Structure 1
Amino acid sequence: MHKEMTLRTEDVVHYALNLMANGAPQDFNQLYRERQFQRVAQVIDEACMVMDFSYEKRANFYTYVYNRLVCKVPVDYLEFGVATGESFRAWLGLSKHAESRFFGFDSFEGLPENWQADSPKGAYSTGGQVPQVDDSRATFVKGLFQQTVDDFSLGFKPQNRLVLHMDADLYSSTLYVLMTLNRHIRPGTLILFDEFTARGFTDEYAALEDYCTACCRSYQVRARRRDFVKLAVEITA
C-alpha cells in the first residue's frame, strides 16, 4: 500500500503558492499530508476490517486485533504514550499468557510540544505519576522517548509477536520511535495508531509514511475505524 501513496505535481504547486501568500512551512506540510492522505485513504486492502466504535468502546478494536490478527499468541507489547494506562490495562487483560511482556513508555509529564489547539505542550500529564498496575509482566519506562527508547532498543530481545501501540500523537515522537525500533521490526509486526488522522491532523500517518520511505518498509492496513482515526497495520517488508 505504501508505494501507491503519491501526490500530483499540481497539488504541490497549489499548496506552495498558498504557502507563499498566506502561510508558514508547517501549514504547507499539513496541507500536503492531508491531501495526500485523502487521495489514498480509499485504496484499502481487501483484508482490512472496517469497524464503527466510539472512543469509549475502543477496547472492541483491541479485542479484534488480538483475537484475529495476533491470533491470541503471546505478545511483546510496547505502548508509546501511556498516560493513565487505560489501553495498557486493556491489553494486559487480553493476553493472559505468562510469557507475554508489556512495556509502557511515557514521560507522564504531558506532550513535549504543542499538538492541536486544545492539546498544548504539557497536555495529558499525570503529574509524573505512573499507572498502578498489579501485573509482574508489566514494565513502565519513564522519560521522553528520545531519552529512553534507544537504550531500551539496544538491550531488547523480542521473544513473542511484536505489537507496537503508537499513541504519541506527535509526528516527531512517532517517527523517532519507529526509526529507533527499526532493528526489531519485521514482516508480521503489528503497529496500532491511536490518532492516525485525528480531526484532520495527520501526524502519525506522516510519521509512518516517512519511516517506510527511509527504511524501505511496506505495510498492509489490517483494521481501522471507519474515519481512519484508529488503525492497525501489519509490516509486510
Structure 2
Amino acid sequence: MLNKIDILTLFPEVITPYLNESIIERAISSDKIRINTHNLRDYSTNKHNKIDNIPFGGSTGMVIQAEPTISAIKAICNKETHKILFSPKGQVITMDLLQNLLKKEHILLIAGHYEGFDHRIENFIDQTISIGDYVLTGGELPALTLTDALVRLIPDVLGNKNSASEDSFFSGLLDWNVFTRPRFFDTLNVPDVLLSGNHKKIEHWKKRSAIINTLCYRPDLLAKYRLNKMEKKILIDYFLKEECNEQDN
C-alpha cells in the first residue's frame, strides 16, 4: 500500500501550499501518507545551480539536463521506488491506473518544465503519465493532480469510508446528481424521492441518475461498463420514455 510520495520539481514552493491544506494535510498529519518535495536545482553541479541547456539540433526553449535529474533520482529512490515522469506521450490517468499505483509503497513524481527533459532520463523511469491532451507550463499541476487523486483513495483518509467509492469513475459510471438545502429554490426543486425516507427507492434513483448522466455526458464510459439486469431495465425505460416524449411532440 502506498505510504510515501516524493515530488522532484524546479518549483517546490508551488507544490507545498497545496499539501498544507484540506484532505492532503489531514492525511499527512495523521501519518496516512508521507509527501516530500525536492528542488531539482539542489542536484546541479553548476556553480549557478543551472540545470538546463539549449537542445542539440536547434529548437526553441531550454531542455532540462540528464545529469542533475539522474543524480536526484538516484539520491531519492531505492530499489522499490516507482518512478513516474509526466509526459504528453504517457498513459492518461484513469481509476484503474490509480488503483495500480496504490499498490506501490513509494512513488517518485518528476515534474518537468521548459521543453522537457533530456530523453536519456527515460532509461531511469518506470512509467510515463499524462493528465490529458493539452500542454501546461510545467509538471507541478500534473504532480498535484496525481497526488490528490491517490491520497483520497488511501483507506481512512476521507471522513466517510464510502466517500471515494461513491465518486465518479470509481464504479465505471459518473456520479449521480446531488442536492442540498433549501428544498425549494425558485422553480427548481429537489426530487421528492430523495426526501421520502425510502432507502430502496433512493438507491434506485441514484443508480438511474448515474447511468443517465454517463449516457448523456460520457457514453464512452457506458460502452465499457457491464450493465446488470436492473441497470439494463433503467436504460430501456429511459429510451422508451424519450421515444414517447418525441411522439408527443
TM norm structure 1? 0.23
Between the two structures, name the one with larger relative contact order (CA 8 Å, sep ≥ 6): 1
Structure (1 or 2) with the larger CA radius of gyration: 2
- Greater percentage in helix: 2
